[in-house]
């Protein structure tokens, strides 16, 4: 009693697995047929045409023995279907012409199914105008066939039989045309979906590339402002220490200490900036981004490097967004760095910042001697223009008539459609 009970689950498992294997094998078979049809359409159509020729010849094999020339009509009707995908309307024209010759010489035969296949192919691959022409030709052939080949029935008149056969054959032709039109519409829909998917993928790639380029530009701009400014100050302090060392070692020591402090500040800025890019940097949240409130310390720094500067700040800057304040700070920082590098010794700088709820006006000018080297077309001016454009401002930078250099810009804080949320708004939000 126990042995049969043990074999039952195994048998049930095998019988339960058979439907799954059958479905899988059927799916694999359909995929193979589809791949063969897409890769070798002419070869597949030729095989189908030969198979149709043999199938339609079987019911009339006796007549084919007595009248072998009917094989010519059979082959002329069916074999052109080999090229039905490449030239559907031409194949239909050949098939219709052979069917007319058949109407003139003999009676109907099963191979006339080739006319319906040719009509289906025209509907599936050609325009509606050609499809209607092909359908009208087939309907004319149906009418001629009914008028000539309809036999006299036992339970009705000849006209009744002709009407019934005409309705039946006309329904068949309409069905062939409608199926072809549905296949064509489905293919068009699938093609549109594929094209839409390709367009969406291309748009996604373009947006990703633009985002990467924008991020690279922002990183390059920020690195330029941090590194260039601090290195310029450190170089100026080092030169001052070398110059003052023989006469006043105390002043040289102070200059070196200020240079070291500037380097530490640069490292802090770099750590904060890289901490925004790296999620594993805990110190980034403890170092807020500079703003308008840090302009006084910035002017003291460049003053220690040999560029005396005065600040005139009007208005309340507390209500200004952190991104706009950082933009103002970077504009002033880059302008003073250019003055420190290019202005002649003894130059002085003036910084004016006017704050209002709707705009911030920034002006930086110096009184360098005429003939002092002016800032070249480097990354600094381009980065300043990008920062100003993010808030709807247009930067103006150029030499003054009496010597020196002036930078002026007005940031629009109420612009409803700015060029972006500010080049440093996301960075400020991440840094807290």
Q: What angle do CA 249, 250, 255 make, to 5 degrees?
A: 95
Distance CA 27, CA 23 (A): 6
Measured in degrees and rounded to the nearest 5, phi and psi for residue 343 equal: -75, 155
Tally DSSP H helices, then E strands, for the chain.
13, 5
Distance CA 292, CA 328 (A): 7
Half-sphere exposure of 405 (CA within 13 A, CB side): 24
* Cα 106 to the center of its chain, rounded Å: 62
Q: What is the pLDDT of residue 13?
A: 45
Q: What is the pLDDT of residue 31?
A: 55
Give Cβ neighbours of residue 134 (< 8 Å, ≥ 6 apart). 89, 92, 96, 118, 119, 122, 123, 126, 177
Q: What is the pLDDT of residue 172?
A: 92
Q: What is the pLDDT of residue 373?
A: 46
* Cα 228 to the center of its chain, rounded Å: 37
Kind of pairing between the strands at 396-399 and 405-412: antiparallel
Let me know: does 122 contact 130? Beta carbons within 8 Å.
Answer: yes
Stretches where the chain sits below pLDDT 70 are: 1-38, 152-156, 269, 271-288, 369-379, 415-432
For 76, other C-beta atoms within 10 Å of its C-beta total 18
Let me know: does 391 contact 362? Beta carbons within 8 Å.
Answer: no
Let me know: does 349 contact 295? Beta carbons within 8 Å.
Answer: no
Q: In CATH, what class is 216-431?
A: alpha beta
Residue intervals in the chain for CATH 3.30.565.10: 216-431
Place of tokens 């102070």: 254
**Tokens linked to 380:** 């600094």
Distance CA 389, CA 53 (A): 75
Nearest CA to 412 among 356, 353, 359, 362?
A: 359
> For the purposes of burial, counting CB atoms within 10 Å of the CB of 366, is it exposed (0-12), middle (13-18) or buried (19 or more)?
buried
pTM of this structure = 0.49
Distance CA 299, CA 294 (A): 9
Distance CA 149, CA 369 (A): 111
The 10s digit of each residue's pLDDT in 313-331 is: 998 888 888 888 888 988 9
- For residue 365, the surrounding DSSP H or E stretch is strand 359-366
């Amino acid at each position: 009693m126990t042995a049969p009970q043990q074999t039952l689950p195994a048998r049930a498992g095998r019988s339960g697995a058979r439907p799954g294997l059958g479905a899988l094998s059927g799916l694999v078979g359909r995929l193979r047929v589809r791949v063969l049809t897409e890769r070798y359409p002419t070869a597949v159509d030729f095989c189908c045409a030969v198979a149709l020729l043999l199938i339609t010849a079987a019911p009339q094999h006796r007549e084919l023995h007595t009248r072998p020339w009917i094989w010519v009509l059979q082959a002329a009707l069916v074999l052109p279907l080999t090229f039905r995908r490449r030239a559907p309307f031409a194949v239909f024209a050949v098939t219709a012409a052979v069917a007319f010759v058949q109407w003139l010489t003999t009676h109907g035969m099963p191979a006339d199914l080739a006319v319906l296949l040719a009509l289906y192919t025209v509907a599936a691959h050609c325009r509606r105008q050609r499809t209607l022409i092909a359908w009208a030709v087939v309907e004319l052939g149906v009418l001629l066939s009914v008028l000539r080949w309809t036999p006299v029935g036992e339970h009705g008149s000849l006209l009744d039989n002709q009407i019934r056969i005409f309705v039946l054959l006309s329904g068949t032709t309409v069905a062939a045309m409608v199926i072809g039109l549905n296949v064509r519409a489905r293919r068009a829909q699938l093609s549109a979906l594929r094209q839409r998917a390709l367009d969406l993928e291309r748009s996604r790639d373009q947006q990703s590339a633009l985002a990467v380029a924008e991020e690279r530009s922002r990183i390059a701009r920020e690195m330029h402002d941090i590194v260039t400014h601090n290195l310029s100050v450190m170089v100026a302090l080092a030169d001052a220490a070398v110059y003052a060392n023989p006469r006043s070692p105390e002043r040289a020591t102070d200059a070196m200490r200020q240079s070291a402090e500037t380097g530490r500040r640069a490292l802090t800025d770099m750590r904060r900036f890289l901490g925004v890019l790296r999620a594993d940097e805990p110190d980034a949240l403890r170092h807020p981004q500079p703003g308008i409130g840090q302009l006084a310390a910035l002017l003291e720094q460049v003053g220690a490097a040999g560029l005396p500067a005065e600040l005139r700040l009007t208005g309340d800057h507390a209500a200004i967004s952190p991104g706009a304040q950082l933009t103002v700070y970077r504009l002033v920082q880059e302008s003073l760095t250019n003055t420190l590098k290019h202005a002649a010794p003894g130059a002085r700088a003036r910084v004016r910042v006017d704050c209002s709820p709707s705009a911030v006006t920034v002006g930086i000018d110096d009184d360098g001697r005429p003939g002092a080297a002016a800032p070249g077309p480097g990354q600094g001016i381009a980065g300043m223009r990008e920062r100003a454009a993010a808030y709807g401002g247009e930067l103006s930078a150029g030499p003054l008539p009496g010597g020196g250099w002036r930078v002026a810009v007005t940031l629009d804080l109420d612009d409803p459609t700015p060029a972006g949320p500010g080049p440093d708004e996301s960075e400020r939000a991440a840094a807290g």
